[in-house]
Every structure is written in C-alpha cells, then in structure tokens.
Chain A
Amino acid sequence: MQNEEQLTCKIEDWANCCGGVDDDDFMQKQSSIPLLGDKEPLSTLAAEYQSGSPILLEKIKVLAHKYAAIRRARGDGNCFFRSFMFSYLEHILETQDRAEVDRIKIKVEECRKTLQGLGYVDFTFEDFFALFLEQLDDVLQGNENSISHEELQNRSCDQSVSDYIVMFFRFVTTGEIRKRSQFFEPFILGLTNTTVEQFCKSSVEPMGEESDHMHITALSDALGVPIRVVYLDRSSCDAGGVSVNHHNFVPAPGNLPSATSASSESINPFITMLYRPGHYDILYPK
C-alpha cells in the first residue's frame, strides 16, 4: 500500500515537472478563447448558470443592481494580471487622466529601483517596463502614437504585447513582495510553507501561475492602484437574503504595512474584478 502511494507520488511529481496530458488538453481548450473578450451584458453570466446552482443565480441578480457588464479573460493563469492591464489602460483611455499617468510613472520608477536593489539584472526586466510605459503614453490622446479603444483591445488580445505587459506586472508584484518580505512572510508560510523568495520564483514570476490575495495586495500597493474584487461563489449567508461579498484592496499610503479595511469602504476603486474560484474577469459598474 505504501509502495503504491509512493509510486503515485512519483508519477505525480513527474507529471508536474514535465507537463501532464490533462494540462495540455485544458490549455488547448483555453487557447480557442480570446485573451480578453468583448464587453458583454451581465445577463450572459446568468445564462451560464441557467441549469446550475440557484444560489449563484440569486447572487447574479444582486450583482445586476450595481454592475452592467462583464469582460471575460482567458483562464490561462494570467487572468488577474491581464484583466488589471486592460481595466487600467481602458480607464486612462476613457478619462484621459494625465495626473494619474504621471503618478503611476513615478511608482513604476520606484518598482524599477526595487528590482535593481534586489539584484535583478536590468536587461531581464527593462523590455517589459518599456512596453507598459509605451501603452500608457499611447492611450493618452493627442500624440502621434495615440490609440483608439479598438486598438487597445486588439493589443490586449495580441499575445506578444499582452503577455509582455502581464510579465511587467509579475515583475512589479515580485519586487513588492520581496521588498516587504517580512510583511508577506507569514501569509506565504501559511499558504505554501516555502520561503518568500521561493514563493516569488515559483508562484509569481512564471507566466501562467495563478494570482492570490497576496499578488493582488502587492500589485495594488506597488502601483498605488485600488482594486475591488467581487466574489461570486456558493457561500450563502445565514441571515436569509442573498448578498454578494466584495473586498477592496486599498494601497497603503506611502507603502506602509498594508491595506486595512478601515478606510477601504470610503474608497471607490475604478478597477473591479469578478472572482469565481480560480478565475478573474472584469466587471463594469452601472
């Protein structure tokens, strides 16, 4: 019996190391879905669960009071970062908020210094930084390279651009977690029982590694951008009447140990994501 267990263990290890068949199959299905879909009315979400859990259908009804639309991201493990990318750039494109662009550029420079301070070689991350900064300039109108909403969507679905920007966010996130390793360490130990550095190397930096609370906290803090995550799961509340939980990730002022919920209700993040276990999409408020 024990031998059998050991054997399964080894086979699993091997499969993890060298890519299992199921993974390939799953990835193949996923790769027929665009990296980012079109904006769809929230009713399409309800349609997905028509024959499913009544709790979820109830929750989607509640969701519909506040939110109008959804934009789906491909479930390739990068959905959080990709949704963040599109949501942020779309916000800048629509608001033309130059003050915000100036603000985030300062943050991006800080992130660059963080990585340098941690010993990352410049050429390993500079191309990713450059491409994000380029997109920031391009969504601002009135210069030679300005782009339309349609072009933003095209670029977000173009793997060669989109993946580079996802990777930019991964570098930013890893830098923030490692810089404040004392703050993140207890959470990481609780989750994976590895060191902060190992966690970053195996769960933040590689493409396709899914994002967790920690990634979101770190990215939000590093760039100073609040993020709202709305949770759609089967959990129900006892008090009767279905409600949908959300959590605001609010960057700590000056990057002090992080986001507390005290101030988080007064903030209205311009980025909202819908979380279903294992997956993030973009939500649009009414």
Chain B
Amino acid sequence: MQASRARLFKEYKEVQREKVADPDIQLACDDTNIFKWTALIKGPSETPFEGGVFQLVFSVPEQYPLQPPQVRFLTKIFHPNVHFKTGEICLDILKNAWSPAWTLQSVCRAIIALMAHPEPDSPLNCDSGNLVDVLFV
C-alpha cells in the first residue's frame, strides 16, 4: 500500500513534467484518491479515430506496480480489442505481460498504438474484429 502510493506519487510528478512533451496524452489524478486516474488521449492520425478525443479511466490496485492498473475506455469506441459496452481493453501488457517497467503514461502510449494497430486475433468486439479480417487480410 505504502509502496504503491509512493510510486504513484512519483508518476504524478513525472506527469507534471512531461505534460508538454506528449501533447497526445493528458493524464490526471483524482484530487482525493491517488489510486484513481483519468486520461484524455487523441485518436492517432491516419486511423478512423483521428480527430477524436477518448477518455480512459484507471483504477490502480494496492499491489501496483507489481500488478497492472485496470484501464477501460469511458468513451464509446468501435475497435476489435475493446469491449463495446464496458470499454474493457484486451491488451497483453494489462494482463500477463505487465511489468513495473510500464507506467500509467506509457500504458496510454500503448493504448494509442493499439488503436492504430488492432489485433483482430484476440477480439473483445467480434464484429469489429471480423471487419478488420475482411478488410485487411
């Protein structure tokens, strides 16, 4: 608990420093609870998501950073690896490939990369996954 709090505080300071460096990500911590974060990410260019701004919510477990944060889209998005109703994201680094080398900020970057490069083989939204299969394979 203490360790996760200390780590999150370091990430908070880093986010303040990096704000200008990465204009595609606006990560903010809840005023009263350092285990709750939200992010606004810009849809990557040359994708159907270009021009859109998507909101993510983070719920950080007490065992962080040994365990990954839970992240989901609050903004509705039609994407093979995102559950259309719940916003749940199927991304390996949020599950079994997580490591403490990741940060909330770099998780946002990975999600932006996933938006640009869907993985139709592990769909949470089968309709969208099939469309990608049909259109691009």
Contacts and interface: CB of A to CB of B under 8 A. Distances in A.
A125 B100 contact: yes
Most chain A beta-carbon neighbours within 10 Å: one of B10, B96, B121, B123: B96
Interface of A: 9-10, 13-14, 16-19, 120-121, 123-125, 127-128, 160, 163-164, 167, 170-171, 174, 201-202, 205-208
A123 B14 contact: yes
B122 A17 contact: yes
A17 B102 CA distance: 18
A16 B103 contact: no
B99 A205 contact: yes
Given A123-B14, A127-B7, A18 B100 contact: no
A17 B96 CA distance: 7
B99 A160 contact: no
A19 B88 CA distance: 15
Interface in B74-117: 90, 92, 95-103
Interface of B: 3, 6-7, 10-11, 14, 65-66, 90, 92, 95-103, 121-123
A260 B65 CA distance: 37
Contacts of B98: 206-207
Given A13-B122, A121-B103, A206 B65 contact: no
A206 B7 contact: no
B97 A201 contact: yes
A143 B41 CA distance: 51
A214 B61 CA distance: 32
A163 B66 contact: yes
Given A18-B122, A19-B95, A120-B101, 13 more contacts: A121-B103, A123-B7, A123-B11, A123-B14, A124-B101, A124-B103, A164-B66, A167-B100, A170-B99, A171-B101, A174-B101, A201-B97, A205-B100
Contacts of B14: 121, 123
Given A125-B101, A160-B3, A171-B101, A19 B96 contact: yes
A187 B123 CA distance: 32
Contacts of A120: 101
